[in-house]
Structure 1
Amino acid sequence: MDGTDRDSPVEHEASEQTGSEETEWDESTVPPEVVENVPVWDDEYLDRVSDRLMHTYDLEKDVQVDGESFDLYGELRVESSKHLFHPSVQYANHHMREYLYADRRSSVSLADLERLVEFGHELADERVEPNDQHRATEFTFVLIVPEISEDVHSFVRGFTDRTLLRFGFHGHYEIHCCVVAPEEKRLVASKRTEIDDAFRLWERIDNKRSVFEQLRAAVFR
């Protein structure tokens, strides 16, 4: 992988709003086979988050990856193509992947976040296959904690890490960080993180674009 582009840190307005609890998703709008394949978490917060994610992500619980453990894992695959006159005549085929890792912890430090960023680059070396059809691969790490310290808030708010592959001709991969304290109704996410609405349970998302629409717009623009 070459042509690395590290975006400089930018100010990102953190969401620390309060509001009424959101009405849960109506499972009748989701195909039964999808609901059946979604795990049930003992952690009520993560279980409700999964209700928001199951529409677009393949979800797993209690996964271990290269020695790291996570309570929730999600994978999203998006294919994009154009065609002339007939679907069989296609061009500009592109694909993207997002790997989501979420974990509840008793606390989080800067060292924890830096380790996850390093882990994201290790995963990229293993999973990203640079080619003409590769548009983007996203690695998103979410930590659920009791409270968010100022140094963690500052780090996440200014964090951005995008690596161009072959100077962008083979797309890019990007690492995102998000830290949420549900009991305090506080959340901070790095620039271009599109998954934060799913974890902000104290806000409704009915009148917003879906998680999938936000992510797709960010990648295929």
Structure 2
Amino acid sequence: MTRDSVRRSSESTGDADASEDNAAYLNRVADRLEHSYDLDWERHVHGESFELYGRLRIEHRKQFLHPSITYADHGSHEHLFVRRTSPVKRADLDRLVELGHTLAEEWIDPDETHYSTEFTFVLIAPEITDAVRAFVDGFRDRTLLKLGFYGHYEVNLVVVAPERQEFVASTNAEIEAAFAPWDRQEPNPEPGGWFDRLVGRLRS
């Protein structure tokens, strides 16, 4: 699916002006993500459809005396799934959490080189209800693999209402800069962006 087809498909979802705005918003999000993520326009997984899919992979290794001598090699992965929906219901979120656990079983090769994998699901909606906000804001789902010897994986949830400039994310979904640019704080002289924080976790 191309960006033009995303825009055309949105015209059947409701008000034309709002649909155009949502399509333009999704395109702007893709522009922010494409420098870090490998992106695909349209992904179907276990019966679920997503307009945008992104994959981020970071390899971490330490060297001893010479670059050819390495140790503590491990990798971190993030899978990002984005779609527009109206309205967002608790059942939708529960279903995505279950999908995250299913994908973890299928996509992760659990061994000593695996550090972490994140499955982040983003729903773009006209509004965020109080019930959805409360659930997502307090949500955290981390699973250790072989008591942590094979790393861990996490399922993250994000709901964003761009027309209302509202955003809510679960505890470790550090992707606000891409999906809520209106909520950025004043520039911080110290590194602290969402990508910097991800890299920082690998270095710890």
Could you tell me the TM-score, scaled by structure 1's length? 0.78
Distance in 1, Cα, partners of 2:65 & 2:167: 46
Q: Is the 8 A contact 1:79 1:94 kept in 2?
A: yes
Greater percentage in strand: 2
Q: Is the 8 A contact 1:96 1:135 kept in 2?
A: yes
- Moved segments of 4+, more than 6 Å: none
Q: Is residue 163 of structure 2 the alignment partner of residue 154 of structure 1? A: no
Q: Is the 8 A contact 2:177 2:194 kept in 1?
A: yes
5+ residue gaps, structure 2, are 8-22
Q: Pick the aligned partner of 1:49 from 29, 35, 43.
A: 29
Query: How far does residue 204 in structure 1 lie from its aligned partner after superposition?
Result: 4.6
Query: How far does residue 151 in structure 1 lie from its aligned partner after superposition?
Result: 0.6
The corresponding residue for 1:166 is 146
The corresponding residue for 2:46 is 66
2:156 maps to amino acid:
H
1:72 maps to amino acid:
L
Query: CA offsets per residue over residues 42-81 of structure 1, 9 Å max, x none?
Result: 2100100011111110001121112110011000000000
1:142 maps to amino acid:
V
5+ residue gaps, structure 1, are 1-38
Measured on the aligned residues, the alpha-carbon RMSD in Å equals: 1.6
Q: Is the 8 A contact 1:195 1:215 kept in 2?
A: no
Q: Is the 8 A contact 2:60 2:202 kept in 1?
A: no
Percentage of identical aligned residues: 50
Greater RCO, CA 8 A, separation 6+: 1
1:170 maps to amino acid:
Y
Number of equivalenced pairs? 183
Distance in 1, Cα, partners of 2:50 & 2:140: 22
The corresponding residue for 1:195 is 175
Greater percentage in helix: 2
Distance in 2, Cα, partners of 1:214 & 1:102: 21
Could you tell me the TM-score, scaled by structure 2's length? 0.85
